[in-house]
Amino acid sequence: MEAMKTAMKAKDTQSLEALRAVKSALLLAQTETGSKVDLSETEEIKLLQKQVKQRKDSAAIYREQGREDLAEPELAQAQVIEQFLPAQLTEAEVSKIVDEIIIETGASSMADMGRVMGLASAKLAGKADGKTISTVVKSRLS
C-alpha cells in the first residue's frame, strides 16, 4: 500500500498499474471459495512470481510480433513486482543445491527427474523459478 501511495504521488503510471494488479490478485486469492482469510507468505510469493511470469511472457510475445512499444511496459511492470520478491538465486547457486539433492536421493537418470524436481522445487520455492530449476535438473540427470 505504501508503494502504491508513493507511485500515485510520483504519478508513476507503470508502477501504479503493476501494484494495482498485484493488490487485485492478492484480494482475489483471499476471497476465493474455500480460501482462508490470510495468505501465507509462500502463497503470496507464488502469486507474485506468477504475476512476473505473466508479464515476461507477454513481453516475449510482443517482441516476437515486433511490438516493442507494448513489450517495454510489461517488462517495467515485472521489475516493479520483482522488488517485492526475495532475491533470486543464480543458476550456479541453483546447480549447487540441485547437485546436493541428487547426491542425497541417489538419482542417476531422467527416470528420477520427478523426485529431484519435487525436492528442488520445495527447497527453492520463491528463490528460483521453475524453468531454471527444470533446466538445471535436466542437465544434471542427462
Q: Does 73 share its domain with 119?
A: no
Q: What is the DSSP string of 78-131?
A: HHHHHTTSPPPPPHHHHHHHHHHHHHHHT--SGGGHHHHHHHHHHHTTTTS-HH
Residue 52: give the domain boundaries: 2-82
Q: Does 69 share its domain with 105?
A: no
Q: Does 77 share its domain with 97?
A: no
Q: Domain containing 105 — which CATH number?
A: 1.10.10.410
Confidence of residue 37 (pLDDT cuts 50, 70, 90): low
Q: Does 77 share its domain with 102?
A: no
Q: Does 6 share its domain with 76?
A: yes
Total number of domains in the chain: 2
What spatial distance separates the first Cα and last Cα of the chain, rounded to whole Å? 46
pLDDT in tens, 77-97: 998 888 888 788 888 888 899
Q: Does 12 share its domain with 74?
A: yes
pLDDT value of position 10: 85
The radius of gyration of the chain's CA atoms, rounded to the nearest angstrom, is: 18
Domain finish residue from 82, 109, 133: 82
Q: Does 14 share its domain with 67?
A: yes
